[in-house]
Structure 1
Amino acid sequence: MKKFLIFLIVSLVLPVSITAQSATCPSDVRAREPVACAELDRLLKEESEAQKEVDRLKGLGAGFTSDIAFLTAKINTAQANIKSKNNQIALLTKDIAIKQSKINVLDGRIVKGKQAIAAILRKTNDINSYSLLETVLSDKNLSEFFVDMDAYASTEEALGNLFAELRSVKALTETEKAALAKKREAEAVAKAAIETAKKQVEIANAEKKTLLAINNANKKTYEQVVADRQAKAAKIRAELFQLLDIKPIEFGDALRYAETASARTGVRPAFILAVLQYESKLGANVGRCNRPQDAKKWQDIMPGPLHYSNYLKNGKTCNGPNSPCSYRDDQSAFVRIMNSLSRSTEGTPLSCPIVGIPGWGGAMGPAQFIPTTWEMFQSKISQALNIGTPDPWNPEHAITAMALYLSELGAGTQDWTNERTAACKYNSGRTCYINGKAGPGLSYGVNVMAIAESIQRDKIDPLQNL
């Protein structure tokens, strides 16, 4: 028994290397893959040089030649980006496999540790079961009995050591799992960047081909080409941007509101509009409540004073005897919001609860804020827009509120991973991945990122590249 314990404890305390993730090649990866990391350095430098050429050409005068040169530089930059990201993915794939192997080893140690603890507890229980009468009547002599008692003392000590080591190994496992999650996120970012770059190459090649054909055939002057671009831009601005529960607005107005909010919060306009568009779609899908024709009214779909009172009675938890229970009182907040707008609570469209998913309804307007959350942002919206009372059904107010909230959720960095995480939190209140598994908001985050890319590529870029 003692030999087994010594072997197990030694095996559990073997050192495990933990390395941090860096922007290019982490030090451990560079030591393991020097050639691949050197190639990545070269590709990143090539990408940087290509971007410098794009920036230089931006300052040149307009014309067929300069536009074609600019498009060529953009294509070169995108292609260099694709090469560097493919290199990063190859390195990350190897690193992910190594991390997963470490986790498997640690998981194995945890299993062995639990088995050893069970064996020790059984042994301890056997020794504890001796009574004085059993000791006297036992066929063992006294020396054998006291050997067992010595084993009991050493077993107790080994048990304490084993618990400590098991906790240490579990902590190491969690650290490795967190590192693995970051590497998988980095891999997802690189793959998304490749898809974006491929589409940029496709669009720039098509535009370059068109300009070359026009220039060679002398069919149009450059001024006519610019006029065509301006006409396309005017059409994009005039397109209707559908919003939930209010009249659609022109895309040009939606973009202007988003750009103003972006200047204050740092959140990309395309990302703001993508969340707004998806929220309006989701809100329409879950159905409307509280309208005159609806069976469910606002009191039926929101938690109220009773729910919140029971939450407090239970010690700020809903795991108690008092029910119905909720950590918020949306009903009172909704009444305050409607009173501040001098509107009736009756008849105002609200989102219904999602069928089949536990939770409440009552989300308001195109940004789908619940009443208690809207109240948290009211003063910030008023300050940002220099207005009195913000209105959840006003598109400018809703877009501003959404940008402020997304910024607090981390989207102001304009990093792909942080944007997707902010979208997941906006939808579900939780990160995209929970304990290494997909969270309830992951599909929402993925869809929002796809919409943001489409809005940027098909609407915003054409307006900025006149």
Structure 2
Amino acid sequence: MKKFFSLGALIVFLSVSLVHVTFAAETEAEMRAALEKQLSAYEELIKQQQALVQGKQSERQSLERDLDLINAQIKKARLGIQARELAISQIDNQIEDKVGVIGDLTESLEKQRQSLGQLLRQTQEIDDYSLIEMILSNQSLSEFFDDLENFQSIKSSLNGSLETVKVTRTDTEEQKASLEEKQISEEKLKRLQEQEKANIEDQEAQKAEVLTVTKGEEAKYQALLQQSQKSAAQIRAQLFEVSGGGGAIPFPDAVAFAQVASQKTGVSAALILAILEQESAYGANIGSCTATEIVYGKQVMHPDRDQSIFLALATELGFDVNTQPISCPWIRSGERIGWGGAMGPSQFIPSTWAYYGGIVGSGTSYHYDKNSDYIRKLTGKDKASSPFNNQDAFMATGLLMRDNGGAGGTYNAEWTAAIRYFAGWNGPSNSINYPYGDNVMKRRARLEGEIKVLQGG
């Protein structure tokens, strides 16, 4: 009878990847220490500039005040760019570490599969070898019992190896999900960088124009402000761009939708418009896809989180999933990052829309429930709310901004809610997200002025 090899050799490698993971974590902590210190310093300076900006905004409008405000905004923006460069550097290092860990786990998983195959083959040999053959073999009694003990050990190791493969596979998937989150965070920061650099150029040009025209004289500056004010006719004629393939709608219509949402949610109409305008600007380069497309080897929409909800929406609303536009995943340097699937003007993903729009269920089974459709209740419609309908989308934005704390009416409450709309509930705790809130509030101030002119106020 053939002898079976040592079981220890089959499973000794299982802990190798854990050694690498621990070492990588320690190395990462050491490498990040200096960056963390720098980032904290930048964040403190940004907060100081934020306080200065808010203080200047509360002062009476004058040439001196507005030049100070522009200078403070430019300085704050430049500090933000430096902070985000550090944050992007950190994320790059974290992504590199994640890729290394995934590689180690994948290699470990392959070795475990090979070991499992060997154990399965040995188990089959045991099952095929009869007790009579054992007894008739040229073995001593002690060798016979040694083999019986080995048989039991092999079967026990088979169960252990199966469990190890399961754990390693789970760890690998978790690391891949974490890597994807890091890539999405990095892409958001890079988009903010691009937007903030453009803002600085605009502010520098604005400052140069003011100084050229006014030559530092207050009276000339006040005259310039008067000339720059749009008339009611100009505002009435302008269009309001919305995301999600809806194109543009007349500005008075957009104001009417926002005011209805404001009355129901307590969120300023100008703030709702500012969020939607910002989303349109922010998502302009993402593009338009459909749920059935394959982009860089994957479906556009997250298969577990969003697809079943999207199909339930299609069933209720009657749209064709093969043609209905949704946002594409981000692509940078020929690499896909994260998932697409954001819908309509509010750019909600299906799982977010479900909370307000009456899609209920779990797993892969979802359906529309009229009693859970909060948007429908607030708009007073007699049909299911749709993320692709402007009135419904405006109401949804108002609801989310309300839940983010944006109904307080103060600058800080609205600014905080805007950042949460972009980066989640904890977004305001990280200064690298501040530019999104800053840009929304700038838009809000302009839009509020235009609404007043439009309505004769």
Q: Same fold (TM over 0.5)?
A: yes
Is 2:457 the counterpart of 1:463? no
TM-score (norm 2): 0.62
Cα 1:11–1:79, aligned 2, differ >3 Å: closer, same or farther?
A: closer
Cα 1:414–1:372, aligned 2, differ >3 Å: closer, same or farther?
A: closer
Q: What is the deviation of 1:157?
A: 1.9
Q: What is the deviation of 1:212?
A: 0.6
Cα deviations across residues 129-175 of structure 1 (Å, max 9, x unaligned)? Answer: 11245335545555544332221111122222223333333333334
Q: What is the deviation of 1:96?
A: 1.8
> 5+ unaligned residues in a row in structure 1: which ranges?
20-25, 287-325, 335-349, 358-363, 420-451
Matching residue of 2:250? 250
Distance, in Å, in 2 between the alignment partners of 1:221 and 1:197 is: 30
Cα 1:242–1:416, aligned 2, differ >3 Å: closer, same or farther?
A: closer
Matching residue of 2:74? 75
Q: Greater shift after overlay, 268-277 or 160-169?
A: 268-277
**Equivalences, count:** 362
Question: Does the 8 A contact of 1:127 with 1:149 survive in 2?
Answer: no
Structure 1 residue matching 2:230: 3-state secondary structure: helix
Matching residue of 1:398? 392
Question: Does the 8 A contact of 2:358 with 2:370 survive in 1?
Answer: yes
Matching residue of 2:273? 269
TM-score (norm 1): 0.61
Q: How does 1:149-168 map to 2 (within 5 A)?
A: 149-168=148-167
Q: Which amino acid aligns with 2:447?
A: L
Cα 1:85–1:237, aligned 2, differ >3 Å: closer, same or farther?
A: farther
Cα deviations across residues 175-212 of structure 1 (Å, max 9, x unaligned)? Answer: 43333333223222321221221121011111111101
Distance, in Å, in 1 between the alignment partners of 2:346 and 2:16 is: 54
More strand per residue: 2
Matching residue of 1:423? none
Cα RMSD, aligned residues only: 5.0
Question: Does the 8 A contact of 1:57 with 1:70 survive in 2?
Answer: yes
Q: What is the deviation of 1:388?
A: 6.4
Is 2:389 the counterpart of 1:381? no
Is 2:322 the counterpart of 1:354? yes
Cα 1:403–1:36, aligned 2, differ >3 Å: closer, same or farther?
A: closer
Distance, in Å, in 2 between the alignment partners of 1:209 and 1:222 is: 13
Distance, in Å, in 2 between the alignment partners of 1:123 and 1:46 is: 66
Q: Which amino acid aligns with 1:122?
A: R
Distance, in Å, in 2 between the alignment partners of 1:396 and 1:69 is: 39
Q: Which amino acid aligns with 1:414?
A: R
Q: How does 1:8-47 map to 2 (within 5 A)?
A: 8-11=13-16, 16-17=21-22, 31-47=30-46
Question: Does the 8 A contact of 2:237 with 2:250 survive in 1?
Answer: yes
Cα 1:184–1:282, aligned 2, differ >3 Å: closer, same or farther?
A: closer
Matching residue of 1:61? 60
Q: What is the deviation of 1:73?
A: 1.0
Cα 1:213–1:231, aligned 2, differ >3 Å: closer, same or farther?
A: same
Q: Which amino acid aligns with 2:392?
A: A
Matching residue of 1:3? 8
Cα deviations across residues 244-295 of structure 1 (Å, max 9, x unaligned)? Answer: 99997422431453365368287953444557999xx9799x9xxxxxxxxx
Alignment identity in percent? 21
Cα 1:232–1:116, aligned 2, differ >3 Å: closer, same or farther?
A: farther
Is 2:414 the counterpart of 1:414? no
Question: Does the 8 A contact of 2:77 with 2:200 survive in 1?
Answer: yes
Question: Does the 8 A contact of 1:96 with 1:180 survive in 2?
Answer: yes
